[in-house]
Amino acid sequence: MLERDLSVPLFCTQRREMASSMLRLATAAADETRLLNVAPKPASAIRPVATLPAATAAGARSEAFPPRALDTLAIATLGIVAVIVALTFRDYGLGWDDYTHSQYGNLLVSLYGSDFADQRAFSFVNLYMYGGGFDLLATLAAKVLPFGLFETRRLVGGAIGLIGLFVTWRLGRRLGGPLAGLVALVLLAACPLYYGHMFMNAKDAPFAVAMVVALLGIVRAFEEYPRATPATIALCGIGIGAAIGSRVMGGFALLNALLPLLLIVIVRSRENGLKPALAECGSYLVPFIPGMVLAYVVMGLLWPWAVISPLNPFRAVEYFSNFFEKPWRELFGGEIILVPDMPRSYVPTLVALTLPELMLALGFCGLGLAAFAAARGDPEHPGVGRRAALLATILAAVLPVVVTVAGRPAMYNGIRHFVFLMPPLAVLGGLAVAWIARLLRPYGQTAMAAAATVFVAGVASPVIEMVRLHPYEYTHFNHIAGGAAGARTNYMLDYWGLSIKQASAELRDVLAARHEKPSGATWTVAVCGPHTAAVIALGSEYSAIWDPKGADFAMTLGEFYCAKLDAPVLFDVMREGVVYARVYDIRGRSISTLLTVRGPDS
């Protein structure tokens, strides 16, 4: 393209200016490539500037913003988040599953330490049907770090979450340029659902990171079509293996790769015929065989039960296809519903009510732009690899929701199982901002500054809410839902029970300030919430029990299933005017139960 423009006689002023402009763009692009040490993309993945659609995500690049400055801002953002993680990881309490997951980690260490002689991990509750990579890593880290086991688990979770932020930045940058990458990073870092789950969710947050690593590999592979580099093949193997090795839902990563491949075959067959298209696809896939082997090895390291029998992953799929526990009730839309009976609207509703408004708006805008770019053909420069890469990103953000709405499985604990949708949605939001910047560029700096102000204000809103909710960021509801206060009577907030830690610490402080001593050997605390969390947080001077009869105090979550007691309130754990946990003094009182909801058979 540049050579064609420079071949035009330069006596024409207009053409001379065009050539000079194109030369500056080419030089800037070359400088950016050298700066990042990124190999140039193959011709099939490159669309010349003149053929880029004026209003598509594929054409949304950020030439008006210095790449070096944008990348510096992205690195600074990662650094700021890393500092916050280091300063606050101890604030996060234990939830319902933390202690059990720590046991699973110990069993996996014993499994590998005994050369597979100690196989208790293969029958430990139902956790052997999940990958235990996080639990294994946290247990090993606790042996060398100067923190307790559960503090280490929080720190390791934060570190893995930071990796997810970094990979999301690189993915957004690859698809839409430096501005898109920076925006994707900021949107994800300011997403309370993702940030909150980083610290306390041993399954869903690491799975989200593995899925975005897999997506980056898939996008790179498609943009390098018809010949992927060994580094890209290795990245695909590591990402997909880690995803399936974390949860069987990692199979979505395979769909994200296979369905766009079908698009490539269709487009190529229209251009060259079916047989050449299939031959090209076959030669493209053959080098991925070592990548598949690598994926299986990674999966086996993280999920050893999956490889002791070739059919075990399929057994896990069958197990999770049917609800595997005794059903309980949760609050959704103001109604108390059995989790297998949740409506199809469950996930879409909670996505709309819990994600920041800016992330929703930009994410769906980017989704539409990416869909347009993926569907639109170009006879001269088809860019089929790029179209497939965009389709893979769309599928990563949308396909799991579509499958869930259609299949209507048991749904519970908010949308913690769908944290892995946040990185691709943030990337789509980054594409939208890059496109908007391109659209506003002809209107000058004033328009760009106004758009930047709107973006900063949109990001600041959830960040302020996260500060107010800390360390319960994961309970965030947006302004559409009326915030945490508006959502309290309609939806679950602290379903993980993290506020038990703060309630326990405040109870110790209150009794110490009063210089009170128990009548027996220990204080007895009846708990409506995760008992192990209370036992660890309260310490050896307290006994946590279920039955309130004869107890000294009652500690209850603010969720619907914990009763409001007719007893003096010692204190409340509150955020934004909402009670997250409450402690009662029930000495000398007759309290029969802490629960408001009976079992599913009643």
Packing angle of the helix pair 251-272, 204-223 (nearest 10 deg): 20
H/E stretch holding 554 = strand 553-557
pLDDT the model gives residue 64: 61
d(CA 38, CA 212): 19
DSSP 64-108: TS-HHHHHHHHHHHHHHHHHHHHHHGGG----SSHHHHHHHHHHH
pLDDT the model gives residue 327: 86
471 preceded by cis ω (within 30°)?
yes
Q: Buried b / exposed e across 82-95, counting CB within 10 Å, b at 16+?
A: eeebeeebeebbbb
- Contact yes or no for 526/551 (Cβ under 8 A): yes
Which positions ≥6 away from 441 have C-beta within 8 Å? Answer: 64, 448
- Contact yes or no for 204/175 (Cβ under 8 A): no
Distances 290 to 150, 297, 299, 597 between C-alpha atoms, Å:
37, 11, 14, 53
| Beta-carbon count within 10 A of 406 CB | 8
The tokens for 539 are: 């310490």
498-546 residue pLDDT tens: 999 999 999 999 999 999 999 889 999 999 999 999 999 999 999 999 9
pLDDT the model gives residue 536: 95
SS3 574: strand
pLDDT the model gives residue 207: 98
64-119 residue pLDDT tens: 678 999 999 999 999 999 999 999 999 999 999 999 999 999 999 999 999 999 99
Report residues of the chain scoring pLDDT below 50. 1-62, 379-381, 599-602
Q: What pTM was computed for the model?
A: 0.88
pLDDT the model gives residue 325: 77
pLDDT the model gives residue 322: 81
pLDDT the model gives residue 383: 83
226 preceded by cis ω (within 30°)?
yes
Backbone region of residue 346 per phi and psi (left: phi > 0; alpha: psi in -120 to 50; beta: other values)? alpha
Q: What is the DSSP letter of 595?
A: B
d(CA 71, CA 169): 9
